[in-house]
Amino acid sequence: MITRNEWLAALDEANTPPPQDPNVLTVREFADLLGIGRDAAGDRIALLVKAGKAERVTKVIRNVSGSLVKVPAYRLLKKKKP
C-alpha cells in the first residue's frame, strides 16, 4: 500500500518547476535587467524578435497563487558563423 508520505512526496515533486534556461527572460525580467518600464521592455523585445535577434518561447513560473503556469518569454538567438 502506498503511504501518505509517498503521496505527499509525489505531489511535492510534481509541483516543482522544471529546470529553466537562465538565458530565457520574461518581459518583466527583461525590464528589471535594463532598469526600464514593462511597456518599453515589450517594445524592445518586439524589435528584437522582428529583427530576428530573439525568439519567443515559454517559461514555467509560479504565479501569486502558487500555481505553475506557462508564460511568454524570449531568448536571444546566437549569431550564425559564416
Calculate what percentage of the chain has a pLDDT beyond 90. 62
pTM: 0.74
Torsion of CA 50, 23, 57, 68, to 10 degrees: -140
C-alpha grid cell, residue 67: 500555481
Select the CATH number that applies to the domain covering 22-82 from these four: 1.10.10.10, 3.30.1360.120, 3.50.50.60, 3.40.50.10090.
1.10.10.10
Indicate the pLDDT class of residue 81, thresholds 50, 70 and 90. Answer: low
Give the pLDDT band of residue 76 (cuts 50, 70, 90). Answer: very high
The angle, 0 to 180 degrees and rounded to 10, between the axes of the packed helices 27-34 and 38-50 is: 110
